[in-house]
Amino acid sequence: MNPFDTTRRGFVASAALGSTLLSALPAWASSGAARVADDALSLWYDQPAGPWIEALPVGNARLGAMVFGRPAQERLQLNIDTLYGGGPYVQDNPAFREALPKVRQLIEQARWKEANELVSASLMGKPLKQMPFSSAGDLMLDFPGVSGAARYRRSLDLDSAVAVTSFIDGGGRHQREAFCSVPDQVAVIRLELAGEGTIDLDLGYRHADYQPYGGFGDTKHDAHGVVYVGAPWNHRESLNAEKRPGSLSIRADGSDALLIEGRNVAAFGIPGQLRYALRVQAVGDGRIEAGGDRLRVRGARRLTLLIAGDTSYVNYQDVSGDPVAAVRQRTAAAARKPYDKLRADHVRSHRALFRRLHIDLGGHEADAKPTHARIAGVPRAPDAALAALYVQYARYLLLSCSRPGSQPANLQGVWNEVLHPPWEGKYTININTEMNYWPAGPANLGECVEPLLKMVEDLAVTGARTARNSYGARGWVTHHNTDLWRATAPLDGPLWGMWPTGGAWLCTTLWEYYRYQPSPALLRRLAPLLKGASLFFLDTLVEDPKGRGLVTSPSISPENEHHPQVALCAGPAMDSQILRDLFDATLEAQSTLGDADPTFAEALRRARARLPADRIGAQGQLQEWLEDWDAIAADQQHRHVSHLYAVYPSGQVNVRDTPGLVQAARVTLNARGDESTGWATAWRLALWARLGDGERAYKILQGLLGPQRTYPNMFDAHPPFQIDGNFGGAAGILEMIVQSWGGEVHLLAALPRAWPQGRLHGVRAHGGLELDVDWLGGQLDRLRLRGPARAAVALRYRGQLLKLTLDGRGRARVAAADFKAPA
């Protein structure tokens, strides 16, 4: 039985409860917005979470927690952003450089089997895998006196970043709040009881090697959506049944706190070298005792739990930190602040970024339904408000898993249940990591990009070693994956890993963000990264034997096979597309900073001119490879559409300038199909939006929002969970309304008929612009712009171009009637 089957009685009770929570929209959305329920910015449920994919995420980027909302025994599953397996290591294969010329020769001769074997033996990194992102285990909160849960509700309010569980047990009403504070660097759990009774609590810890539910086998799909495989974890399971590795220590740390210390796992032959610590401190009006491996509270009415977590990670070369000292300091400092102050500081910090953008697509009558019921109803019951909520949820997730000082968002953001997650939970940089940051620019969350920039700065160092030792090249390189330790060698095998363009795509992702929020300081950090990445390709591009220009070799078109079990090739379309953007960005950065090296610049221009142009194949499709292999490729509906990078996120192929290539891209997309994995569905959504087909984009969006691709807690269902689908889907929705490419801002370029009226305020565009867009009856109603004073702006709406200059305050107002002359 699906634990989220909603009875009519349960729905009516929940709807009645939700109807009492009406309030005006917050100040940031007050510009003419209608009054809607608070639930417009909430995920809410009338049942506790069963499996992990129903729990609600909170995070401050360094610490993440999943809140299950269980009345009698709450589970808080924890993550620390630097808790990966292994330790500092070098993955480069010492045989690489000598074998490289032979591999290139075998590829030229189409001797695929021999090329694969040589790449596997001599080019792949050692170890062949990278280090896994691991769970920090569970805090288990047993409430001996709780026996019932009437009028139950749990929710996650995106505007305050607070998860709330409330219910009535006997004569008392329990209210529990959970959040992860950026200012105080702790997770906070607040327990309050009104009415009869007291809060009694037994708190213990369960290590993550106890895996009740997770990994590849946790879900499957059928015609009705998600089916859970196996039984949800038993609420009543004894804490004494937990499994503890020998390296784990749990002990009282004073009369009011519990300290957990452990070591990370060894992985793929790399010894575990990190220490980690968690500390839980209780502050309240009851009797608090920490003894042995338990924290015990009796007779409380108000109780605050302060949770800190850290590891000994200092940087990718240094694991000498003191996590115990760190967690003691953070919890002790937080304990000196009243709860109201902790909460207010957290909310203020969150709203300073979250409230920059407001999106309203109408359809708020659906807000009265529990979130899981809304997801289950798509696409039979289209839900415009759910699409708007999806955007805001993605913004919430990015704020919660990528902040200055943290690691970047990985495949699971900062939330993972198990010690060894699918695909190691690392940074897959042949699409997934880049997709994580697609919404950062338009969704007005520039601060969230800082961890990605810092990681690329690290990779420029480790990747220089790989470039020098493996290729004999200047500059730096990284392939299709990296991890906490900034490994840069190819891995996984020749079908996936022999792709040298991962670092280049990271660079163009950072450059795209710079175009949204240009600043001299950011440009000075980007310029050496761009130059180093470009130098590598100046040294490693080779002549195509058929005279088609300079190509990468060996490479692949991620992660597709052009012949059965063969991905290796020279010069896949995506590589040339990325390098065009990389070289252009490098030249512009050097020129803007006024320190261009004429010899280097000329070499870049010559190399760029000799990159193979995009080609149209016999089927009328945009070719994925230099050869017209698309019709014989092993998977005609492959999840990756790598050669459509030129359409989105790049703008090289676009509806204004390259109509022939646009038509070829449409042929390719039609052949690949609309249904795919979660992130690949999100990419298709963004591509059709960029191609100006709002109805096709909307159709794909319905598939993304429905139960096949969205879990009950709104996490993306790859399956299993990958966070890139959430971020890519949000970027695609914004792309349907406002686009930035080709030196212009494109308004309502892919607006579907299902959204006849709405508003998108605070969205960003290239050039440091910020827009408030309102539309009515499917037509632009009004537009307000903010940006640099006296900036020139080009706006395109329905084939008409309007050029204007912002005033001395960097402001302008535009109406639909201002678009008069065709371009």
CA dist., res. 593 & res. 747, Å (int): 32
* Per-residue model confidence as pLDDT tens digits over 47-72: 999 999 999 999 999 999 999 999 99
Pairing mode of beta strands 744-747, 792-797:
parallel
Q: Are 64 and 134 in contact (CB under 8 A)?
A: no
Going along the chain from its start, the domains and CATH numbers come out as 8-84+134-355 (2.70.98.50), 96-126+402-626 (1.50.10.10)
808 burial via Cβ count (<10 Å: 0-12, 13-18, 19+): exposed
636 pLDDT above the threshold of 80? yes
Q: Are 478 and 546 in contact (CB under 8 A)?
A: no
Q: How many CA atoms lie within 13 A of 625 on its CB side?
A: 23
CA dist., res. 509 & res. 501, Å (int): 12
Which amino acid, one-letter code, is at 446? G
Q: Lowest-confidence range among 214-223, 393-402, 518-527, 776-785?
A: 214-223
- Tokens 């937990």 map to which residue? 242
Q: How far is CA 676 from CA 219, 439, 638, 718, in A?
A: 16, 21, 8, 9
Q: What are the counts of helices (DSSP H) followed by strands (DSSP E) for the chain? A: 17, 33
DSSP state of 375: H
Q: What is the C-alpha end-to-end distance of the chain, expressed in Å?
A: 58
CA dist., res. 803 & res. 791, Å (int): 11
> Starting at the edge strand that comes first in sequence, how are the strands of the sheet with 738-741 ordered?
738-741, 744-747, 792-797, 800-805
Query: What local confidence, expressed as pLDDT, does residue 821 receive?
Result: 53
Reported as a pLDDT band with limits 50, 70 and 90, residue 74 is very high
Q: Are 62 and 402 in contact (CB under 8 A)?
A: no
> pTM score > 0.75 for this model?
yes
For 592, the 3-state DSSP assignment is helix
Higher pLDDT among residues 11 and 501, named by residue: 501
Question: Which ranges of 246-319 would DSSP assign to H, the alpha helix?
Answer: none
Omega before 127 within 30 of 0, i.e. cis = yes
633 pLDDT above the threshold of 90? no
Query: What local confidence, expressed as pLDDT, does residue 241 receive?
Result: 31
CA dist., res. 333 & res. 344, Å (int): 16
Query: What local confidence, expressed as pLDDT, does residue 505 receive?
Result: 98
Query: What local confidence, expressed as pLDDT, does residue 29 receive?
Result: 31
DSSP state of 631: G
DSSP state of 1: -
CA-wise closest residue to 771 among 791, 752, 800: 791
Mean pLDDT for the stretch of residues 818-823: 68
Using CA atoms of 431, 432, 438, 444 in order, give the dihedral in degrees to the nearest 10.
-160
Q: How far is CA 648 from CA 435, 731, 811, in A?
A: 11, 11, 29
The rounded percent of the chain whose pLDDT value lies above 90 is 87
Query: What local confidence, expressed as pLDDT, does residue 702 receive?
Result: 97
Query: What local confidence, expressed as pLDDT, does residue 39 receive?
Result: 72
The 10 Å Cβ neighbour count of residue 19 is 12
DSSP 401-465: H--TTSPPPBTTBT---SSS-GGGG-EETTTHHHHHTTTTTTTT-GGGGHHHHHHHHHHHHHHHH
Per-residue HEC secondary structure of 713-763 comes to CCCEECCCECCHHHHHHHHHHHHHHEEEECCEEEECCCCCCCCCCEEEEEE
The 10 Å Cβ neighbour count of residue 121 is 11
Query: What local confidence, expressed as pLDDT, does residue 455 receive?
Result: 98
153 pLDDT above the threshold of 50? yes
For 525, the 3-state DSSP assignment is helix
266 pLDDT above the threshold of 70? yes
The 10 Å Cβ neighbour count of residue 16 is 11
13 pLDDT above the threshold of 90? no
Q: Are 767 and 366 in contact (CB under 8 A)?
A: no
Query: What local confidence, expressed as pLDDT, does residue 544 receive?
Result: 96
DSSP 32-48: TPPPEEGGGGEEEESS-
Higher pLDDT among residues 135 and 29, named by residue: 135
Query: What local confidence, expressed as pLDDT, does residue 637 receive?
Result: 86
175 burial via Cβ count (<10 Å: 0-12, 13-18, 19+): middle
Q: How far is CA 104 from CA 187, 191, 553, in A?
A: 52, 64, 6
260 pLDDT above the threshold of 70? yes
Q: How far is CA 679 from CA 402, 436, 654, 690, 703, in A?
A: 19, 10, 22, 17, 12
* Phi, psi dihedral angles at 726 (to 5 degrees): -60, -45
Pairing mode of beta strands 738-741, 744-747:
antiparallel
* Per-residue model confidence as pLDDT tens digits over 661-677: 999 999 999 999 999 99
Q: Are 253 and 290 in contact (CB under 8 A)?
A: yes
DSSP state of 246: T
Q: Are 187 and 180 in contact (CB under 8 A)?
A: yes
Query: What local confidence, expressed as pLDDT, does residue 381 receive?
Result: 87
Query: What local confidence, expressed as pLDDT, does residue 181 receive?
Result: 98
CA dist., res. 533 & res. 583, Å (int): 9
The 10 Å Cβ neighbour count of residue 524 is 12
Which amino acid, one-letter code, is at 151? R
Reported as a pLDDT band with limits 50, 70 and 90, residue 229 is very low
Query: What local confidence, expressed as pLDDT, does residue 407 receive?
Result: 98
Q: Are 255 and 290 in contact (CB under 8 A)?
A: yes
Reported as a pLDDT band with limits 50, 70 and 90, residue 38 is low
Average pLDDT, the chain: 90
CA dist., res. 11 & res. 46, Å (int): 8
Q: Could you tell me which residues are beta bridge partners of residue 805?
A: 792
CA-wise closest residue to 732 among 714, 719, 750: 750
690 pLDDT above the threshold of 50? yes
User: Inter-axis angle of helices 520-540 and 598-609, to 10 degrees?
Assistant: 60
Alpha carbon 343 to its chain's center = 26
CA dist., res. 668 & res. 685, Å (int): 14
Alpha carbon 15 to its chain's center = 31
- Altogether, the residues listed in the chain come to a count of 823
* Per-residue model confidence as pLDDT tens digits over 518-569: 999 999 999 999 999 999 999 999 999 999 999 999 999 999 999 999 999 9
CA dist., res. 770 & res. 776, Å (int): 20
97 pLDDT above the threshold of 60? yes
Q: How many CA atoms lie within 13 A of 169 on its CB side?
A: 19
Reported as a pLDDT band with limits 50, 70 and 90, residue 823 is very low
Mean pLDDT for the stretch of residues 89-96: 97
Question: Which ranges of 517-597 would DSSP assign to H, the alpha helix?
Answer: 520-540, 573-593
CA dist., res. 465 & res. 472, Å (int): 10
Q: What share of the chain is helix, strand, coil (3-state, %, to 5)?
A: 35, 25, 40
